[in-house]
Chains A and B, each alone.
Chain A
């Protein structure tokens, strides 16, 4: 039954699991993700997930949560888990295992800063810190987008051209605990978009087999019956799967729009007032949604500015971004994260992506809002204006320090420019 309800982002994720007919869920509570776990437990205990005979494994840690869903996925089930920050970090070894096993695990990250010191508030450090494990990574801006992206993620992850796990990341509190209207779709309609899982690995197919994930040597294993790949070939195929994912993601976004009437750009990025823009803001998730109003205000002041809100961070859509930024002469990147010792992660990723472009824009990065520090429109406007005024300043272009917006060092007695 289609219904529009007002729910939090966490509950939107839980409803998406129900709509997707997830068969095995294992998760461990952590702020701000906990209500996902609670809601799914409620669905299971209330008998609302009997159609998929859903099993909720109430594990004792995040490490066990991800282990259990990996194993259940390898046993041919559609699976789900979710975590945040320290819990996500605790899963690290298994995240690599999920991707290396090429299992279509779908997982939500309710983003939160990583300790120490302790914080429960949002930034994007946790999601970016698992950049290279092999998962596909998506960022969203609204609760409806959480629900929709989880559904799309199953379709993409389970596509034989891909067979990769996927993250759907949303800001802690800003989405996780904020109520918004979300359309929950009819099961039949969902199954039109999302066919039943056809697993490439199902441990219940009994009989002789080489085992899943045995020790795999550096080189080919050569034998009369045929050669088997080395680790290197397996890992090459993971990279190829990421490359294949773009077309699958675009297909899924198109079909989703056709069936449900909602879309998020091309499924890869969302452009806002970008067509004629000379200045483009580049951001994800909460920072991107905050930037929309900022674009409107700066447009009123006569600035030709727009926004590229990145939805798909891995695989990194280099080709699409070169196109999206081809007419801009200034890109202002707001990172709610930092590659310590270098600069904002989105900033250095986009610099690398645009390096070979013909019309290479000036790219200026700022760090904002770590550990839930409020990001005001004025903060972002200030960043844009600074970037505009210093755009052609060669010294600024060559500077190697990282700019932070919204620090309150003065009030702590630090002198300007000091550290």
Chain B
């Protein structure tokens, strides 16, 4: 059951006055995630836009302990915190979260993440995926989707489709994996609660599609709307893998049926990074979405859930 807004905890762990751009999706996600996790949370944070969330020079709007660390090492840092908690026998009461961008996850940090996942280090790994290196000025990452313009794919847009991190993490046999989007904070809240309940069961991986007005080129008041469109088109299925079993989350359930999926052009046309798209480019996206659901459908069928 989706939690009602009135039942959400009032306590805020990120106070107003962060240094994020207005309309920053990562900040929406961060705020709701910490609401779900509560005060007994230690965050590890690699170089990324979220480092800036934490403030500069001793000012911080974040109310839980955060350790800032190098770009590629967040999973190892979180493993270290979690080992220390185990040594001190505080690992039951305190939850450790690695909070990284797509660059820190898909690219430079993938080795450390894979290592931590395989050895069952105990923490929640969050990738807020804004689909580029935003902090350094919107350069392409391996999470950048096909065709998107970034400052390193400046004229024709990215020629390759993004890496499938969801499948990569599934291949590690994790206890809990989920996808979220900034347009569905209640869904996100529930999933973080669940990930916390899996404390003690190795790495739990949550990936959040995180809107970014300067990086994606949408209006600052569309940060919620834009990822809703992504979900409605079927491009970004909200789902979970619980102890190996695939579960499509409520907001995405109806898009198992292709005819219910909305035109992905609605999503793409909200963003200037896709402004140059031709019919052929739209087709690549449509095929990408079809293939994605075909595979999910096979699996649901095999599980007897279709």
Q: A residues near B, CB below 8 A? A: 23-24, 26, 52-55, 57-61, 63-65, 67-77, 93-94, 97, 203-217, 220-221, 223, 228, 230
Contacts and interface: CB of A to CB of B under 8 A. Distances in A.
The 10 closest A-B pairs by CB, nearest first: A71-B80, A60-B115, A75-B84, A68-B80, A221-B57, A64-B76, A67-B76, A228-B58, A72-B84, A67-B73
Contacts of A215: 51-52, 54-57, 68
Contacts of A228: 57-58
A64 B60 contact: no
B112 A26 contact: no
B52 A71 contact: no
A216 B64 CA distance: 19
A228 B55 CA distance: 13
Contact of B79 (A23, A71, A211): A71
B67 A223 contact: no
B69 A97 contact: yes
Given A59-B115, A210-B58, A26 B80 contact: yes
Contacts of B20: none
B57 A54 contact: no
A2 B58 CA distance: 48
30 contacts: A53-B89, A55-B87, A57-B119, A60-B111, A61-B115, A63-B112, A64-B75, A64-B79, A64-B112, A65-B76, A67-B69, A67-B70, A68-B77, A70-B77, A71-B76, A74-B67, A75-B80, A76-B88, A77-B87, A94-B70, A206-B64, A210-B55, A211-B54, A211-B67, A213-B68, A214-B55, A214-B57, A215-B54, A215-B55, A221-B57
Given A55-B86, A60-B115, A203 B81 contact: yes
A398 B68 CA distance: 50
B84 A77 contact: yes
Interface stretch (B37-45, B173-181, B206-214, B226-234): B37-45
Contacts of A209: 60, 65-66
B86 to A, nearest CB: 5
Contacts of B85: 75, 204
A135 B77 CA distance: 19
Contacts of B119: 57-60
A23 B91 CA distance: 14
A228 B85 CA distance: 30
Contacts of B51: 214-215
Which of A26, A59, A203 neighbours the largest number of chain B CB atoms within 10 Å of its CB? A203
A94 B73 CA distance: 9
A73 B292 CA distance: 43
Contacts of B115: 59-61, 64
A221 B94 contact: no
Q: Is the interface of B mostly helix, strand, loop or mixed?
A: mixed
A214 B73 contact: no
Contacts of A59: 76, 79, 115, 119
Given A71-B76, A75-B84, 10 more contacts: A60-B112, A63-B76, A64-B112, A67-B112, A70-B77, A76-B84, A203-B42, A204-B65, A214-B54, A217-B57
A205 B58 contact: no
B56 A64 contact: no
Contacts of A203: 42, 65, 67, 81
B65 A71 contact: no
A243 B153 CA distance: 50
Nearest to A211: B66
B62 interface: yes
Contacts of B76: 26, 59, 63-65, 67-68, 71
B52 to A, nearest CB: 7
Contacts of A54: 87
Contacts of B89: 53
A211 B86 contact: no
Contacts of B88: 23, 53, 75-77, 204
Nearest to A220: B57
A24 B65 contact: no
Contacts of B64: 206
B268 interface: no
A26 B86 CA distance: 14
Nearest to A93: B70
Which of B64, B67, B80 neighbours the largest number of chain A CB atoms within 10 Å of its CB? B80
A93 B69 CA distance: 10
B70 A71 contact: no
Given A57-B83, A60-B111, A213 B69 contact: yes
Nearest to A223: B59
A211 B84 contact: no
Which of B84, B94, B112, B114 neighbours the largest number of chain A CB atoms within 10 Å of its CB? B84
A68 B76 CA distance: 5
Nearest to B64: A206
A205 B87 CA distance: 16
B77 A67 contact: yes
A61 B87 CA distance: 22
Contacts of A210: 55, 58-60
Nearest to A65: B76
B121 interface: yes
B240 interface: no
Contacts of B70: 67, 93-94, 97
A220 B81 CA distance: 30
Interface string B79-120: 111011111111000100000000000000001101110110
